[in-house]
Amino acid sequence: GNSVTQMEGPVTLSEEAFLTINCTYTATGYPSLFWYVQYPGEGLQLLLKATKADDKGSNKGFEATYRKETTSFHLEKGSVQVSDSAVYFCALSRAGGTSYGKLTFGQGTILTVHP
Amino acid sequence: DTGVSQNPRHKITKRGQNVTFRCDPISEHNRLYWYRQTLGQGPEFLTYFQNEAQLEKSRLLSDRFSAERPKGSFSTLEIQRTEQGDSAMYLCASSSSGGGAYNEQFFGPGTRLTVL
């Protein structure tokens, strides 16, 4: 079946530091890949997506590249801000059949950015 | 349109009681999904509707759980004879189905269920 694995444990950074959150996946076929973000007290929001190999999704200074050869979709940002503190979820979906659009999520990574 | 709404936002119940949650999707969206999220975990898929048809149910959805979307608009999720293990955040999401390999799912704020 499909699965998504994110790096373990919370991430704590100082403002303006470089961020990487690792994500790897297992899926048959060619899934679409996503990063969702959950800010404190708010619902899940789509941060960025990539629908085919070598695509780069980007939004709000965050980037992730769909790497089919390593089955990875790592999230990066060059300079984090306190306002980026949130929980980040990597997810995938597969097209086709009655599973079209169903999302499989990783366990989430808590990011805390200090001033 | 103000997005996906869910009611109630919080529900506390005693073990063995029945509970029902409601989800109102974005009005033009014909796809509706229910997910469950426990503390420290990512959301897990429960069930999916295309219009009023329930097309997929997860094995997580035991026979105590039932979901409906009678007119292809709002949806309800009912849990009968609640157990403490049902305590979780129940999330609803909706999307359109026209065009492209993927249509963004928009999530509601969730209903937090606590079973005592």
A81: which 2 tokens? 């801000």
How much is the mean pLDDT over chain A? 92
Share above pLDDT 90 across residues of chain A, in percent, rounded to a whole number: 77
**Residues of A at the B interface, defined by Cβ within 8 angstroms:** 4, 32, 42-46, 49, 51, 89, 91, 93, 95, 98-108
pLDDT of chain A, 115 residues: tens digit per residue: 889 999 878 999 999 999 999 999 998 878 899 999 999 888 899 999 998 899 999 999 999 999 999 999 999 999 999 999 999 999 998 765 555 678 999 999 999 999 9
**Cβ contact B92:B34 at 8 Å:** yes
Across the A:B interface, residue pairs with CB atoms under 8 Å apart total: 62
Round to whole Å and give the CA distance between A75 and A67.
12
pLDDT at site A19: 97
Rounded distance between C-alpha atoms, residue A9 and residue B64, angstroms: 34
Helix (H) or strand (E) holding B63: none
pLDDT digits (tens, 9 = 90+) for B83-101: 999 999 999 999 987 655 4
Closest Cα in chain B, distance from residue A71 (Å): 19
Partner-chain contact A89 B43, CB within 8 Å: yes
Strands A109-114 and A11-14, sheet pairing: parallel
Nearest alpha carbon to residue B58 among A2, A27, A33: A2
The DSSP symbol for A21 reads E
